[in-house]
Amino acid sequence: MRSLDVDCKISVYCTINESEDVNKVRTAVSNILTGMDEKLTDNSFAANSDNYESLTKIYETMRTRKIKSAYRRHLMRNMTEDSTWFYLNKQAAFANVIALCDEEDQSPLGPIKVVLHSKNIEDVIDWLVSDVE
């Protein structure tokens, strides 16, 4: 994975349904993102990191499955001045599979929302989905 030369904060959010085990939700998130500081409440899970290397699994999956263009489309569509976001399927994440969701309802138990924050958000998007290794 090539290095990212701008600051990037990663935030992750998902709901915890009454039928879900909190530890399974934690496992789902840790299967796709590493080194996150977690915060649990009764019905939600949040995690944050200031280290772009937390995205290593997503970065590598994009390259092995050749799905960078789908991520680029989502990241550009959801971009604001200093952030962008995408959804991942929570059940797939629990099975250690990274699956992008087009819409929130594509993940029956609710998606994992990954938000990237940076003053140079376009550079972060380019880093994540570019063909340069």
Read off the CATH number of the domain in which 111 is found: 3.30.1440.10
pTM metric for this prediction: 0.93
Predicted pLDDT at 48: 96
In a domain, 75, yes or no: yes
pLDDT, average across residues 16-27:
93
Q: What angle do CA 107, 84, 35 make, to 5 degrees?
A: 75
In a domain, 2, yes or no: no
In a domain, 42, yes or no: yes
In a domain, 80, yes or no: yes
CB 27 within 8 A of CB 14: no
- CA 3: distance to chain centroid? 18
In a domain, 1, yes or no: no
Residue that is written with structure tokens 């880093």 in the block: 127
Token pair recorded at residue 131:
């063909």
Question: Is the per-residue pLDDT at 64 higher than 90?
Answer: no
In a domain, 106, yes or no: yes
Question: Is the per-residue pLDDT at 133 higher than 70?
Answer: no
Helices (H), the chain: 22-32, 56-65, 68-77, 90-94, 121-129
Question: Is the per-residue pLDDT at 98 higher than 90?
Answer: yes
Bridge partners of residue 40, in order along the sequence = 45
Q: Is 110 left (phi over 0), alpha (psi -120 to 50) or beta?
A: left
Q: Which domain holds residue 51?
A: 9-129
Predicted pLDDT at 123: 94
pLDDT, average across residues 94-101:
94
In a domain, 78, yes or no: yes
Total structural domains within the chain: 1
In a domain, 20, yes or no: yes
